[in-house]
Amino acid sequence: MTFTAPRRPQFFYTTAPLPCPYVPGRVERKIVTEIAGLDADMMHDRLSRAGFRRSHNIAYAPVCPGCQSCIPIRIRAADFRPGRTQRRVLRANAATEGFEVPARATAEQFQLFQRYQQARHGDGDMATMSFYDFRAMVEDTPIDTVMVEFRDPDDRLIGACLTDRLGDGLSAVYSFYEPGLAERSLGTFAILWLVERALRLGLPHVYLGYWVPESAKMAYKSRFSGSEILVGSAWRPLRVATSGPEVRAACLSLG
């Protein structure tokens, strides 16, 4: 007779309210749960399809009172076709190579991360992260995670993207890049690279996290063809879904 270990119960918790990092004057709350155990990968897959994101060994989703501005978004890799601006980004980075390396923090990555934070998010909490904080962000993962390093022909590290491997795609957890190379749009290039990588691996999706229509710095996420967003419990093509009343409501301020 074989015995199956009882399934570990999944507990969800709600965080205390904090100022919203995307829309001024709003309050942010999250529902969080731990990703752990032998079935951590399957659990993370299910949560990702339901609109959750990962940080360390925690999965979270927004449950902000009176607001639905954070909309889960992903790209259907097989349906993606680069637009004119994205083709220009590909040409500008034609000599840049991406390398998947183990999720192990390095001094080189951290120095780039610091330059990026000081230039782009100097007033944010991440700008004060120590190397040990950065190492925890990179290495504290219960699932299949890699760091994608982007290097110029002279082997200079110019960008990086912490990336989770899911059963149905790749998930861009956090990316950072050389702030002095803004004209090369390395953040966009990282997503284009992930789309191509997903195709090579036979994975259908690239998860981008949350699209916030009211936030200018999050607008780029809606510029990739083949995108779809989570509406209720169903993923729907972005261009179709945004013509529906339920998503129009989600794109408006409800506070």
Please determine, for residue 250, whether its predicted confidence score (pLDDT) is greater than 60. no
Has residue 78 been placed in a domain?
yes
pLDDT band at 2 (very low <50, low <70, confident <90, very high): low
**Is the residue at 166 inside a domain?**
yes
> How many other CB atoms sit within 10 Å of the CB of residue 197?
17
Structure confidence by residue, pLDDT tens digits, 156-170: 999 999 999 999 999
pTM listed for this prediction? 0.90
Residue 58 lies in a domain: no
In a domain, 56, yes or no: no
Q: Note whether 206 and 170 are within 8 A (CB).
A: yes
| Phi, psi dihedral angles at 55 (to 5 degrees) | -140, 120
Q: What percent of the chain has pLDDT over 70?
A: 91
Query: Whole-angstrom Cα distance, residue 130 to residue 134?
Result: 6
Q: Look up the domain containing 101 and give its range.
A: 73-209+216-250
Residue 7 has pLDDT above 80, yes or no: no
Would residue 83 count as lying in a domain? yes
Per-residue pLDDT at 246: 46
Answer whether 227's CB lies under 8 Å from 241's CB.
Answer: no
Q: In whole angstroms, what is the distance from residue 197 CA to residue 189 CA?
A: 12
For 23-156, where are the E strands, in sequence order? 27-28, 30-34, 53-55, 58-62, 71-76, 97-102, 145-151
**The pLDDT of residue 252 is above 50:** no
Report the CATH number that the domain containing residue 235 is assigned in CATH. 3.40.630.30
> Is residue 172 situated within a structural domain?
yes
d(CA 13, CA 135): 25
> Does the pLDDT at position 255 exceed 60?
no
H/E run at residue 212: none
Say what the pLDDT of residue 224 is.
97
Contacts with 61 (C-beta within 8 Å, 6 or more apart), sequence order = 30, 31, 47, 50, 51, 52, 53
What total number of domains does the chain contain?
1
Domain membership flag for residue 80: yes
Please tell me the predicted confidence (pLDDT) of residue 241: 52
Instruction: Kindly report the average pLDDT of the chain as a whole number.
Output: 90
